[in-house]
Structure formats: C-alpha cells, structure tokens
Amino acid sequence: MVPRLGVRSLKQERPHLVQPKLGKLTQGSIFCCAVASGYPGSRVYGLTITARCDVAQDKYPVLNYLPVVELKDWLRVDGLEILKETETREQNGRLTGALKQANVSPSIRTSISLEEIARVHFPQDVGPKVKRRSSKIFTELVAEVNEFNRILVEENGELQMKWFLNHRSSSVSDLIRRLVKHDILGFYFFENIFEDEKL
C-alpha cells in the first residue's frame, strides 16, 4: 500500500497524510523500505519527489525521495548534531564573554589550555568578592566544557543524548518545539503517516 500526501485545507498549519491507497507511486507518495544516510537499523520511509509527469510515463531512471524517519531516530542523529553544534557555539560564547569581562584576550585560548588560563587569570579564593565570584564561574565553566568534550570524543550518541537530557533538557524541548513549528531549515515534521502511528 502506498499513501499519498494530501492537504486538508489551506488554513491547516501542518501537512496531513491521507490514508494509504493501492496504486502506483507518484509525486508525494510515501513508501516503506527506504534508506537514509546515518540511519542504519532505523525504520525509514520515503516521500517521492520525482516529477509527477516522469513517474506517470515511467521516464525516471532514479526515483528521488526525501527520507521520513521517526522523531526518536531523528533526535539521536540529525537532532543530536544540531544540539552539539548549538552547545559548542554557546560554550565558546560564554568562555569569550568571561575572558573579556576579566580583561583577558579571548585569543589566548589558541595557545594556552583552559586549565592554565583558569590557574593564571582566575585563581581561586584570591582578591575581592567580585573577583572570587568570576573565578568560580570560569572554573565551573571550564569543568563543564571539558566534560562535554570528553563525551564528544567517545562518539557515543546515546551517551551524548543522555548528557543533553540531564544538563540541557530545555534545549532538547526547544529543538522539538522548533521542529514541530517547521523552524529548522531542511527538516519538516509530520504528526503521523498513518492514523494510528506517530512519528
């Protein structure tokens, strides 16, 4: 059985997939047993994008399709990559901000380790209260960055996602919210492909 993509009305915010019907593939058809790079072992469907006229006249040497995967699988592959890129960018921003606030050039990171920067420029329990507080914040940030980098090196997606769920659950929730609102470039959210099956 091959379901076809249909839209209930122009006012509807999200695409709706109609019940599957027997017949030939055509543009907008959803089919099973597709393959998606980076998703080995996952259930993958395909959304046909080959031109309708070419399909109707059997003129296509290759059937072009967009992969459709379950939300849980998307989160552990493409979603996880987005989370890691965002976290790395935000950590770099926080480190740069802390260094600038302490009148230390952010370029120092290219030649000296974070631990050495913390030891020299952010000594613990030294100086006035404001200085001690900024030293504590920077030291905690360095520890967090190091922990995150250790997890990245292991290349274990399950462990990385667990870190995000434990330390950045709001980032995971925000990513899903943005996906549902079609606010992530290149990715689209279908609530389901069959009436009783959620993606």
The number of angstroms, rounded, from the C-alpha of 69 to the middle of its chain's C-alpha atoms is: 14
Q: Answer whether residue 172 shows pLDDT above 70.
A: yes
Q: pLDDT confidence of 20, banded at 50, 70, 90?
A: very low
Q: pLDDT confidence of 96, banded at 50, 70, 90?
A: very high
Q: Answer whether residue 1 shows pLDDT above 60.
A: no
Q: Answer whether residue 107 shows pLDDT above 90.
A: yes
Of all residues in the chain, what percent carry a pLDDT higher than 70?
A: 80
pLDDT at 14: 53
Phi first, then psi: give them for residue 47, nearest 5 degrees. -105, 110
Q: Answer whether residue 30 shows pLDDT above 70.
A: yes
- Beta-carbon neighbour count of residue 74 at 10 Å? 23
pLDDT at 24: 67
pLDDT at 29: 75
Q: pLDDT confidence of 13, banded at 50, 70, 90?
A: low
Q: Answer whether residue 196 shows pLDDT above 50.
A: yes
Token pair, residue 66, equals 């967009």
- Beta-carbon neighbour count of residue 32 at 10 Å? 14
Token pair, residue 170, equals 């709001």
Q: Answer whether residue 176 shows pLDDT above 60.
A: yes
- Beta-carbon neighbour count of residue 147 at 10 Å? 12
Start-end of H helices in the chain? 52-56, 71-74, 80-101, 114-121, 129-154, 157-167, 169-180
Burial (CB count within 10 angstroms: exposed 0-12, middle 13-18, buried 19+), residue 17: buried
pLDDT tens-digit map of 52-88: 676 666 776 777 888 999 999 999 999 999 999 999 9
C-alpha distance from residue 59 to each of 2, 53, 92 (Å): 20, 8, 51
Q: Answer whether residue 124 shows pLDDT above 90.
A: no
